[in-house]
A = this chain, B = another copy of it.
Amino acid sequence: MRKLRCNATFSGMSILSEIGEHEAIRRILPALGKDPELRVGAGDDCAVCRLPGGGLDQVFTTDPIIEQVHFRSEESPERVGNKAVGRVLSDIAAMGGRPQWILVNVVAPPALEFQYLERIYTGMTRLCEQFGTLIIGGDMAKGSSLELHVFGTGLLPENSALLRSGAKAGDSILVTGPLGGSFESGRHLDFTPRVAEGCFLRESGLVHAMMDISDGLATDLRHILAQSGVGAALEGAAIPKTGTLEQALFDGEDFELLLTSADPDRLQSKWQEQFGTSLPVIGKITAEPGTLKLDGRILKAKAFEHFAGD
């Protein structure tokens, strides 16, 4: 990445594929500004804003899903709709928020069958209903491939959002479900966002940091490490998997919650009581900033990036 950053086109300017998505976002962030009502800006699963009236914070997030990037053209439209809204609900869950409102921008080719679009809305509204939220607006425009841009808001008690920056050395690392093989199994389309789980974990008062796993355990955990100024040591055998360890670490699109806690025993027992399932500990937060180890050895980065590699 460092080398690529120094590359330049003949005009002396870098193009997005040389910079990559994460670096492009990192460079733009400082220009966005601050506000006393904005508690957490871009860089977490959601932005967190103080709501007028007091007592509540509101979270905001947005996710695009694009044909041939996030789903294949032959996919069932209900499942595409489920994924589009599910990703946003998963971001809200990752803060411990209760979903509130959804808006959707559709970009579609003029030759798209209307029935296909209707079935996408069926998938979206079905998931919205399940979680007590509603699509309240949006817009439509034509484009060369099908895209859904989903915007969502959620609510939670003020100052209670679970952030990526809260992990502390000595915390245990836990995960709400098995990881890996989400694309092969189709789970990336019909997953259930961990909304009830996210609220429960926030209310437990036992969680220091939380996020959802979209880019893969290894990649996403690095965000917690970077934002908390800590390191981590994972135990390969302890990670719940649906395939190989490699898949569990790097596949992504699991949409399980990744969290840290200083009191994992009490959290696990509360969880067992509430959901009747286990909440496995998969490693520890360490005091070595930015160092991610797997079974005692340094784990190298390997991540999907939009733009990069084109």
- Mark A residues whose CB is within 8 Å of B: 9, 11, 13-17, 19, 21, 24-25, 27-28, 31-35, 38, 41-42, 46-47, 49, 51-56, 60-64, 66, 69, 101, 103-105, 107-115, 117-118, 121-122, 125, 128-129, 134-145, 147, 149, 151, 153, 155, 306-307, 310
Contact = CB atoms under 8 A, between A and B. Distances in A.
Contacts of A103: 47, 60-62, 151
25 contacts: A13-B114, A14-B115, A16-B142, A24-B140, A28-B118, A33-B128, A34-B134, A38-B134, A38-B136, A41-B136, A41-B137, A42-B136, A42-B137, A46-B137, A49-B101, A49-B136, A52-B53, A53-B55, A62-B151, A64-B149, A103-B151, A105-B105, A107-B147, A140-B307, A143-B143
Contact of A66 (B15, B17, B60, B107): B107
Most buried by B among A15, A63, A66, A155: A15
A69 B143 CA distance: 9
A16 B108 contact: yes
Given A17-B110, A103-B47, A141 B69 contact: yes
Contact of A138 (B42, B113, B155): B42
4 interchain residue pairs of minimum CB distance: A53-B53, A110-B310, A17-B110, A47-B136
- Oligomer copy total: 2
A62 B239 CA distance: 40
Contacts of A13: 113-115
Contacts of A136: 32, 38, 41-42, 47, 49, 60
Q: What is the predominant secondary structure among interface residues of chain A facing chain B?
A: mixed
Contacts of A28: 117-118, 121
Given A31-B121, A118-B28, A149-B149, A142 B56 contact: no
Contacts of A101: 38, 47, 49, 60
Contacts of A307: 108, 110, 140, 142
A174 to B, nearest CB: 26
Contacts of A143: 66, 69, 143, 145, 147
A113 B14 contact: yes
Given A16-B110, A16-B142, A51-B52, 10 more contacts: A9-B113, A11-B113, A14-B113, A28-B118, A46-B137, A62-B138, A66-B107, A66-B143, A103-B151, A108-B307
